[in-house]
Amino acid sequence: MTDTILSVDNLDVSFQTYNGVIKAVRGVDFDLKRGETLAIVGESGSGKSVTAKSIMQLLPKKTTMIDEGSITYENENLLNYSRKEMEKIRGKEISMVFQDPMTSLNPTMKVGKQVVEGIRKHQSLTKKEAYNRAQELLELVGIPNAKERMDAYPHEFSGGMRQRVVIAIALACNPKVLIADEPTTALDVTIQAQILDLMKDLQKKTGTSIIIITHDLGVVVNMASRIAVMYAGEIVETGTLEEIFYNPQHPYTWGLLQSMPKMHQDRSVPLIPIKGSPPDVSNLHDGCPFAARCPYVMKVCHDHVPDKEQVSETHSVSCWLQDERAPRIKQPDFTGGDHVVQTKTR
Amino acid sequence: MMANQRKEITDDLFVHEPLEEGKAEELSESPTSFWREALGRLFKNKGAVMGLITIIVISVLAIAGPIMNSYHYDDQDILRSNLPPLIPGLEWMGLDGTNVDGVNIYEQQGVTDAPAWAGTDEFGRDLWTRVWKGTQISLLIALVAAFLDLMIGVIYGAASGFYGGKVDDIMQRIVEILIGIPNLILIILFILILEPGITSIILALVITGWVNMSRIVRGQILQLKGQEFVLASRALGSSNKQLLWKHLIPNVVGPIIVTLMFTIPTAIFFEAFLSFIGLGLQPPLASLGTLIEDGYQEMRYFAYKLIFPAIVISAIMISFNVLGDGLRDALDPKMRK
Amino acid sequence: MLRYILQRSGYMIVTLFIIVTITFFLMQLLPGTPFSNPDKLSERQLELMEEKYGLDKPVPVQYITYIGNLLQGDLGLSFQYEGRTVGSMIGERIGPSALIGGQAVVIGLLLGVVLGVISALKHNSFLDYGSVFIAVLGMSIPSFVFAALLQYYIGVRLEWLPAALWKDYSHSFLPSIALSVLVIATVARFIRTEMLEVLGQDYVNTARAKGIGEVVVILKHVLRNALIPVVTVLGPLAVSIMTGTLVVEKIFAVPGLGEQFTLSILVNDYSVIMGITLFYSALFIFIVFVVDILYGVLDPRIRITGGKNDG
C-alpha cells in the first residue's frame, strides 16, 4: 500500500466548441496522499473544475478529449476504465461535492430518496436498511429532524442545509477520496465556516482524503495541508500550506496573496488586485500564460514556457524568475508587513 | 527538443519587458459588435442560410413568376383545360405532360402552343402563373398582417410594461381574455362579419396576432427594467444613447425579430386555412390557400393541381420556421443548444 | 392549494362569461340572417320564423334570454336543421372528434417524447439532425396540406387505409395520424430543449457522481424533470388539435364537431356557430385550468406554496 491514493500525471483536457478547440487543462500533475487535504486554487476558468470532473469522468464524452496523461487511483489508471467500471468507482471510492447546493440536488425527488439511491447502488442493503442509513447520514451531517426531513424536497432546505445533504450523499458509502468543487462559494460567510468545519470533522472520523477546489485562499488556510495553484489550465506552483503562504515563488501566487484580505491588516492598506483578466484559453500564445498580466514579465516569458523547478522537496514552481539569469526581484509585501522574502532562496 | 529550446534562450532575454497596453488588451478580449457576431452565428447555421435563400428565391418568383410566360392569372382558355405539367427538358422528372394513366394530354387535345410548366386548371388557366400570383397575395397578406401585429404589439406591450401598476394590470386582463379564446375561432367570427377579402383577412389576422408580440415586448421591458446591468451601466456613466444601443436595442429587437419570423408563417397558415374552409379570397383571385382548396377538390384525377401549391406553401413555412430558429439561436447565444 | 383552485375557477367563469358576451354581440354584427340563405321564405314566413327564434326582440332582451338559457344548459335551436337543439348536435358529434383528437394526442405524445429523447441524447449527431428536421416539417407543413397528401397517397393511391368516411374504427386512423403530426413535432422539440437543459444541470452530475447507471440517471433524473414542463404545451396543443379538426374532419368526411362547424359557417347557422364556439372556448379554458393544477401536482416546487424556502 503506497502513501499516494490518487495521482494525476501530465493531464491534458480539451473541449470541442463552436469557436474551435479549447485546451482547458494542460499538463497538470499532482498527488493526493492518504488522509490529507489538497487544495487546488485559482481564478474561475483556470481549469480547476475540469480537472476535478475529469477524475470522476463526468465531462461530456462527445466534446471532451483527454489528449494525454493518466489518472491513477490505487494503482489503476481510471482513464482506461469502462463506463460500468467507473460507475463502481463513483460514489463508492471517489465522491464529489459540487459548487452550488441550490442546483446540485434533483428538485423533484425527495431528499431522503436521493441519499438512499447512492447507498442502494453500492451496498447490498434492503430498502429499510438503506433508509435508516440515509437517516443516520443526515443526522451525521447535522440536519435537525432528519427523520421528517427525509421526505422533504430540496427547495424546502436552506442553502447550507442543502450542502449538508450533498455532503451526506457524497459520504454515503465511505469513499476514500472526496472532491469538493468550491463547496462553500455559493454560501453565506457564516455558513461557509460551518460547512468547512463539518468537512474537517468528518475527515477526522472517516480518514477520507479530500481535494478541495477553491478560488478563496481563506478556505485553504482552514482546510488544506498542501496547495496547488492553477492558472490558465496549468499548475504554476505547488507546495505545503506554509511554503505557499510564507515562501511563495510565482508572481501569480503573490498576486493571489496580495488580493486576499487579512485579519490584522490596517484597513487603510488597500487590497491589490491582479491587473487584467484571465487569458482566453481558446487563444493562448506561446510562452508563460501569465506573461500578459505579470508585473515582472521578461522578454523570455513571451515566447518560452518555463519549466517546473523544485524549490524544495515539496515545493515546485514554473516561472522564469527561477532561472539564475533572471534579475533578483524584491518580493512584494503580501503578509501585512511582517517580513519580506527574497525570491532567490538558493 | 527541450535541449534545442534551451539553447535559444539567451541571457539578453532576461530583461523586464511588459506587453504594450494595446497588445495586452487585444489578447485579453476581442470586441466584436453584437450584430456582427449574431450575423456570423446565423451564417454558420446551414439550415437558416438555406431558409433565407429559399425565401429570397420564392419572393423573387412571386414577383417575376407571373410575368415569366405569356399567360395572365385569370386568362381562361377552354382548349387548354386540365393540362398536366410539361417542362421541356425535365420530362424525366415526370413533368412530361402525361396524366396518371400515362396518356399525353397535349397530343390528345392537340395543344401545340407554349406548354404549361405547372399544368392548367379546369378553365385552362395557367397554374404556374396562378401559383406565383397566389404566393404574391399570400406573402402580401402575411407581411402586412405581421407589420400591423408588430406595430400594435410593440406599442401595447411597451406601454404595458413601461407604465406597470394599474395600467399594466388592466391591459394584461384584456390580453388574458383574448388568449382565453382559441384564436382561430375569433378569426373566423371576424371574417364572417367582414366578408371575405384581402383586407378582412388581414384585419382578422391582426385581431389576435398582435397579442403574442405584445407579450414578448412587455416581458422584455419588464425584465430589462429590473436588470442590474442597466443600473450598473448607468452608474458607470453610460449616456442614454449608449444604454439604448448597447443594452435595450439588442435585448428587445432580437426577440421582436424572432417573433416576427414566426408571425409571418402563422399568418400564411391562417390565410390558407381560411381559404381552405371556404372563407378566403373569392375567384378569380388566387392565394395559396384557394389553390390548394381547388387542387384538393380534383386531387384524385389531377394530383399536380394540389402538389405544386402544396410544395410552395410548405417550402415557405419551413423556411420561415428554420430561419426563425436560426435567428433566435444567433441573437440569443444563451439559448443555443 | 384549495384556495388557488377556487380562485382559478372564479377566473375561469368570468373569462367564459366575457367570451359569451363578445361572441353574442359579434354574432349580432353578422350580415344577413340565417333565413336569407335558403331564401325561399315569404315575408310572412320570415316574420314567423324570427318571432319563433326571438329575433324580433331588441338585442339586450335577446342577450338576457340567451344567458338565461345558457345557465340552464340550453344552447338554443339550430336554424338549419329544424327542431334540433344545438346541445344535442354537439353531443352527437363530439364522439368522432374526441376519438381522433385523443388518438392524435396519444400518438403525438409517445412519438414526440421518443423523438425528443433520442435527439437530446444524441445531441448534434445525424439522429439529432434527422429528428429536428422531422419536427420542423411537422410544425411547418399545414395540417390540411398534410392531410390531403396523406389521403391521396395512403388512401387513394396505395389504398392501405380507408381514405374517407366514418364506418368502422379503421376510418379513424388517417385523420388521427394527420392530426398527430403537429403534436409529435411540438412535443419532440419541447422535450429536446428541456432534456438538453436538464442534462446540463448540476444535479445530473450529482446523480452520476453517486455511481448510478446512466440509464437510471436518464430515466429517473433527466426524463422525469424534462417531462414535467411538457404539460404546459398541452393547452396550445389542444388549440392546434381543435383547429386541425376543422379541416381534417372536412377532408376525411368525419362526422365530428369540426365538420359541423365548417358546414354551419357556410350556411350562417348562427346558433350552432355560437354553440360550438362556446364549447371550444370552454374546453380550452378548462384544459388550461387542468394543466395549471397538474403542473402544481407534478412539480413539488410549485406544490407547496408558503413552504420553507429560506435559501
A158 is written with which cell numbers? 436552506
Name the one residue in this structure whose C-alpha cell is 429560506.
C310
Q: What is the DSSP letter of A176?
A: S
Query: What percent of chain B clears pLDDT 90, i.e. is strictly above it?
Result: 5
Q: Which of A157, A127, A125 is nearest to A141 (CA)?
A: A157
CB under 8 Å to C146, separation ≥6 — which residues?
C178, C181
- Mean pLDDT of all residues in B198-209: 86
- Mean pLDDT of all residues in C108-132: 88
Q: What is the DSSP letter of C151?
A: I
Q: Identify the closest residue of chain A to B2 by CA–CA distance.
A: A307
Question: Any CB–CB contact under 8 A between B185 and chain C?
Answer: yes
Q: What is the pLDDT of residue C113?
A: 92
Give B231 to chain A, closest Cα distance, Å.
23
Residues of C in contact with B323 (CB under 8 A): none
Domains of chain C: 90-263 (1.10.3720.10)
Length of chain B: 337
Name the one residue in this structure whose C-alpha cell is 364506418.
C167
Which of B1, B2, B19 is the mutation pick for testing A, counting most A CBs within 10 A? B19
Measured over the CA atoms of residue A291, residue A292, residue A298 and residue A301, the dihedral's sign is positive
Q: What is the pLDDT of residue B147?
A: 92
Q: What is the pLDDT of residue C308?
A: 35
Q: What is the pLDDT of residues B162-198, one digit of tens each?
A: 777 888 888 888 887 777 777 777 788 888 888 778 8
Give B187 to chain C, closest Cα distance, Å.
11
Confidence band of B270 (pLDDT split at 50, 70, 90): confident
For C72, the 3-state DSSP assignment is coil
Give A168 to chain C, closest Cα distance, Å.
11
Helix spans in chain B (H): 2-8, 21-28, 34-44, 46-64, 105-109, 127-163, 165-180, 183-194, 198-225, 228-235, 240-243, 249-276, 288-297, 303-331
Name the one residue in this structure whose C-alpha cell is 453584437.
B34
For chain B positions 113-172, those within 8 Å of chain C (CB to CB) are: none
Question: Any CB–CB contact under 8 A between A166 and chain B?
Answer: no
Q: What is the pLDDT of residue B29?
A: 44
Q: Pairing between strand A226-231 and A64-73?
A: unpaired
- Mean pLDDT of all residues in C136-150: 86
Partner chains of A (3+ C-beta pairs under 8 Å): B, C
Q: For residues C55 and C47, what is the distance between their CA atoms, to the nearest angstrom?
A: 9
Give C59: exposed, middle or buried? Use CB within 10 Å, 0-12, 13-18, 19+. exposed
Q: For residues B162 and B104, what is the distance between their CA atoms, to the nearest angstrom?
A: 66
Phi and psi angles of residue C38, each rounded to the nearest 5 degrees, phi first: -80, 70
Q: What interface predicted TM-score (ipTM) does this complex get? A: 0.80
Residues of C in contact with A190 (CB under 8 A): none
Q: For residues C208 and A128, what is the distance between their CA atoms, to the nearest angstrom?
A: 23
- The residue type of C95 is G
Q: For residues A66 and A5, what is the distance between their CA atoms, to the nearest angstrom?
A: 21
Which of B45, B131, B178, B277 is the mutation pick for testing C, counting most C CBs within 10 A? B277
Q: For residues A248 and C311, what is the distance between their CA atoms, to the nearest angstrom?
A: 38
Which residues does residue A227 pair with via DSSP β-bridges, in sequence order? A39, A239
Q: Which of A28, A36, A46 is nearest to A226 (CA)?
A: A36
Question: Any CB–CB contact under 8 A between C309 and chain A?
Answer: yes
Each domain of chain A, given as residue ranges in start order, spans: 4-224, 254-322
Q: What is the pLDDT of residue B337?
A: 36
Phi and psi angles of residue A303, each rounded to the nearest 5 degrees, phi first: -120, -10
- Mean pLDDT of all residues in B95-103: 66
Chain centroid to CA C173: how far?
18
Residues of B in contact with C27 (CB under 8 A): 189
Q: Which of B141, B128, B75, B181 is nearest to B280 (CA)?
A: B141
Contact B95, B308 (CB under 8 A): no
For B330, the 3-state DSSP assignment is helix
- The residue type of C306 is G
Q: What is the pLDDT of residue C110?
A: 92
A207 is written with which cell numbers? 480518514
Residues of A in contact with B18 (CB under 8 A): 295, 297
A270 is written with which cell numbers? 488597500
Q: For residues C209 and A91, what is the distance between their CA atoms, to the nearest angstrom?
A: 6
Give B296 to chain C, closest Cα distance, Å.
7
Query: Quick check: C290 pLDDT over 70?
Result: yes
Q: What is the DSSP letter of C246?
A: H
For A256, the 3-state DSSP assignment is helix
Q: For residues B154 and B268, what is the distance between their CA atoms, to the nearest angstrom?
A: 21
Q: What is the pLDDT of residue A338?
A: 40
For A317, the 3-state DSSP assignment is strand
Lowest mean pLDDT among B224-238, C89-103, C120-134, C280-294: B224-238
Question: Any CB–CB contact under 8 A between B306 and chain C?
Answer: yes
| Separation in Å, CA C202 to CA A43, A87, A107, C103, C197 | 20, 17, 11, 37, 11
Instruction: Using only the alpha carbons of chain B, give its radius of gyration.
Output: 28
- Is B299 in contact with C251 (Cβ distance < 8 A)? no
Q: Which of A229, A272, A269, A225 is nearest to A252 (CA)?
A: A229
Q: Which CATH class is domain A4-224?
A: alpha beta
* Helix pair angle (C234-252, B249-276), 10° resolution: 20
Nearest to A279 among B8, B13, B28 (CB): B28
Q: What is the pLDDT of residues A148-201, one digit of tens each?
A: 889 888 888 888 888 889 988 888 888 889 999 888 887 788 888 888 888 888
Name the one residue in this structure whose C-alpha cell is 511588459.
B18
Name the one residue in this structure whose C-alpha cell is 411597451.
B158
At CB < 8 A and 24+ separation, what contacts does B223-226 make? Answer: B223/B251, B224/B248, B224/B251, B224/B252, B225/B161, B225/B162, B225/B164
Q: What is the full DSSP assignment across C82-105?
A: TT-BHHHHHHHHHHHHHHHHHHHH
Which of B185, B195, B268 is the mutation pick for testing C, counting most C CBs within 10 A? B185
Name the one residue in this structure whose C-alpha cell is 472526496.
A178
Give 3-state DSSP helix, strand, coil % of chain A, rounded to 5: 35, 25, 45
Q: What is the pLDDT of residue A294?
A: 81
Query: Quick check: B27 pLDDT over 60?
Result: no
Query: Quick check: C306 pLDDT over 70?
Result: no
Of the CA atoms within 13 Å of residue B322, those in its CB half-sphere come to 27
Q: For residues A72 and A7, what is the distance between their CA atoms, to the nearest angstrom?
A: 5
Question: Any CB–CB contact under 8 A between B322 and chain C?
Answer: yes
Contact B103, B259 (CB under 8 A): no
Question: Any CB–CB contact under 8 A between C26 and chain B?
Answer: yes
Number of B/C CB contacts below 8 angstroms equals 112
Give 3-state DSSP helix, strand, coil % of chain C, rounded to 5: 75, 0, 20
Contact A230, A46 (CB under 8 A): yes
Q: For residues B296 and C83, what is the distance between their CA atoms, to the nearest angstrom?
A: 34
For chain C positions 104-163, those within 8 Å of chain B (CB to CB) are: 123, 136-137, 139-142, 144-145, 148-149, 151-152, 156
Query: Taking phi first (over 0 means left), then psi (-120 to 50 degrees means alpha), and beta for anything else, what does residue A88 get?
Result: alpha
CB under 8 Å to B187, separation ≥6 — which residues?
B204, B205, B207, B208, B270, B274
Confidence band of C40 (pLDDT split at 50, 70, 90): low
Question: Any CB–CB contact under 8 A between B318 and chain C?
Answer: yes
Question: Any CB–CB contact under 8 A between A62 and chain C?
Answer: yes
Q: For residues C154 and C148, what is the distance between their CA atoms, to the nearest angstrom?
A: 10
| Separation in Å, CA B98 to CA B69, B72, B109, B115, B292 | 21, 24, 12, 12, 21
Give A9: exposed, middle or buried? Use CB within 10 Å, 0-12, 13-18, 19+. middle
Q: For residues B99 and B114, what is the distance between their CA atoms, to the nearest angstrom?
A: 18
Contact B128, B116 (CB under 8 A): yes
Peptide bond between residue A273 and the one before it cis (omega within 30 degrees of 0): no
Residues of C in contact with A114 (CB under 8 A): 206-207
Residues of B in contact with A298 (CB under 8 A): 13-17
B244 is written with which cell numbers? 439604448
Query: Quick check: C260 pLDDT over 60?
Result: yes
Q: Pairing between strand A316-318 and A94-97?
A: unpaired
Confidence band of C114 (pLDDT split at 50, 70, 90): very high
| Separation in Å, CA C271 to CA A62, C15, C29, C55, C247 | 61, 20, 14, 12, 21
Most distant pair of Cα atoms in chain A: their distance: 69
Q: Pairing between strand A308-310 and A316-318?
A: antiparallel
Lowest mean pLDDT among A285-294, B86-95, C52-61, C188-197: B86-95
Q: Identify the closest residue of chain B to A321 by CA–CA distance.
A: B14
Residues (pLDDT < 70) of chain A are 1-2, 18-19, 261-270, 277-285, 333-346
Average per-residue pLDDT in chain B? Answer: 76
Q: For residues B311 and B307, what is the distance between their CA atoms, to the nearest angstrom?
A: 6
Q: For residues B204 and B225, what is the distance between their CA atoms, to the nearest angstrom?
A: 33
For chain C positions 134-153, those within 8 Å of chain A (CB to CB) are: none
Q: What is the pLDDT of residue B160?
A: 83
Q: For residues A239 and A308, what is the distance between their CA atoms, to the nearest angstrom?
A: 13
Question: Any CB–CB contact under 8 A between C200 and chain A?
Answer: no
- For residue A115, count other CB atoms closer than 10 A to its CB: 28
Contact C90, C276 (CB under 8 A): yes
For C229, the 3-state DSSP assignment is helix
What global pTM score does this model have?
A: 0.80
Lowest mean pLDDT among A152-156, B207-211, B278-282: B278-282
Chain centroid to CA A265: how far?
27
Give B269 to chain C, closest Cα distance, Å.
6
Question: Any CB–CB contact under 8 A between B11 and chain A?
Answer: yes
